[in-house]
Chain A
């Protein structure tokens, strides 16, 4: 950082000019906090690495696939989702208290957080941009059928839509219906059908032929 050094060569540029404003601002903040002894940059790296490579929607997909093949597990997930999910070695920040909600032929579930962006990080990873943005948060509680159509999910008028506004520490996992034609598949193969959006409720799982 040399923004205040002398410039005998007669100009007054900042050496941060190479950066866009947010990059410069965040670099300055992290630099100061590291200098102050308040932040270990290796800890920042470890946090980022966790969500880039270890914690993501693949976790939730394992839960859903297991619920599809194991009726006892499904019943446990319904009764105590936190314990059932923890039993697969999935636990932690922003998924401390979990609820599983199950789609049926009559009812479709969809999750939002209108007040911020509550989302089950340990189960689904970091939320996508649209989940955190005003268009989704404002409208899905009022016009869910229209919003789902914008995701390409057109539900008939007779399908009940249940919207779960995650207004607290309770976090929600949608368990979609097992797709037709997947009866012969193993749990691992089934997990590959489970999309992130199908576990938020803005999509459906892939069909076996589409994998």
Chain B
């Protein structure tokens, strides 16, 4: 979806004002690390995939998304996902106390399992036996698509011609997985575009931009 998250090439956000690397704290408020930890714990309950949670974040109202900090976006999306899955109610949030016990208690992540969970992560590579449709060096054109749901093809890189520079095996397709429609793994490629292809005469001729694109995002090009 072309929601507020689809930021590549958008204008008006002003210059970068990075905090000096040596002075930047890991967190900027005491509630931020709690949001990080609670979100990861709730992921273990099994209601959603990481793709699904990304979609919940990008589905926040644009004005909310663009005015919220990163961990605010996480907190709002987590509340919405817990409510959507029947593990939390608006009333509970308003009261600040439980009205009904959790349903997925058996999946609660115990502290002892945290090191293993973080070290394992969630690999998305899948063996499918599917033949790849493209080879390194192939010219490809990204599809002109505007799905309502989650996708990893940014709008600035749609309907553009580039070159495959790497193949990464078959990976879980976020466009499907985010919506509970299964992993549907597809070949994943790095596609490299010239700056002028993406941005016309406003592009820097000495810049290239790569994206990682699933097979169903691509067609052969001359």
Say whether A164 contacts B97, CB under 8 Å. Answer: no
Considering the chains assembled together, what is the distance between the CA atoms of A113 and B118 in angstroms? 21
Whether A105 sits at the interface, judged by CB under 8 Å, is no
Determine the residue in chain A with the shortest Cβ distance to B89.
A32
Say whether A167 contacts B41, CB under 8 Å. Answer: no
Say whether B199 contacts A36, CB under 8 Å. Answer: no
How many residues of chain B have a CB within 8 Å of chain A?
A: 98
Interface string of A1-27 (1 = CB under 8 A from B): 101100000000000100000111111
Say whether B209 contacts A141, CB under 8 Å. Answer: yes
Say whether A128 contacts B109, CB under 8 Å. Answer: no
Considering the chains assembled together, what is the distance between the CA atoms of A39 and B111 in angstroms? 10
Chain A residues, CB < 8 A from B166? 99
Say whether A43 contacts B154, CB under 8 Å. Answer: no
Complex partner residue of B171 from A45, A116, A169, CB under 8 angstroms? A169
> Interface stretch among A68-76, A143-151, A179-187?
A143-151
Complex partner residue of A46 from B31, B93, B114, CB under 8 angstroms? B114
Nearest-Cβ distance from residue B66 to partner chain A, whole angstroms: 7
Say whether A36 contacts B109, CB under 8 Å. Answer: no
Say whether B211 contacts A158, CB under 8 Å. Answer: no
Chain B residues, CB < 8 A from A197? 18, 21
How many residues of chain A have a CB within 8 Å of chain B?
A: 86
Say whether A32 contacts B93, CB under 8 Å. Answer: yes
Interface residues of A (CB under 8 A from B): 1, 3-4, 16, 22-33, 35-40, 42-48, 50-52, 55, 91-97, 99, 114-117, 122, 125-126, 128-130, 132-139, 141-145, 147, 150-151, 157-170, 195-197, 202-203
Given A38-B104, A38-B105, A142-B8, 18 extra CB contacts under 8 A: A3-B95, A26-B75, A28-B96, A31-B97, A36-B101, A38-B87, A39-B41, A91-B121, A92-B119, A114-B154, A115-B8, A134-B7, A137-B7, A141-B156, A161-B206, A162-B192, A170-B212, A195-B21
Interface residues of B (CB under 8 A from A): 5-11, 13-19, 21, 24, 26, 28-31, 33-38, 40-42, 45, 54, 57-58, 66, 69-70, 72, 75, 78-79, 82, 87-88, 92-93, 95-98, 100-102, 104-105, 108-111, 113-115, 117-125, 152-154, 156-157, 166, 168, 171-172, 174, 188, 190, 192, 198-199, 202-204, 206-214
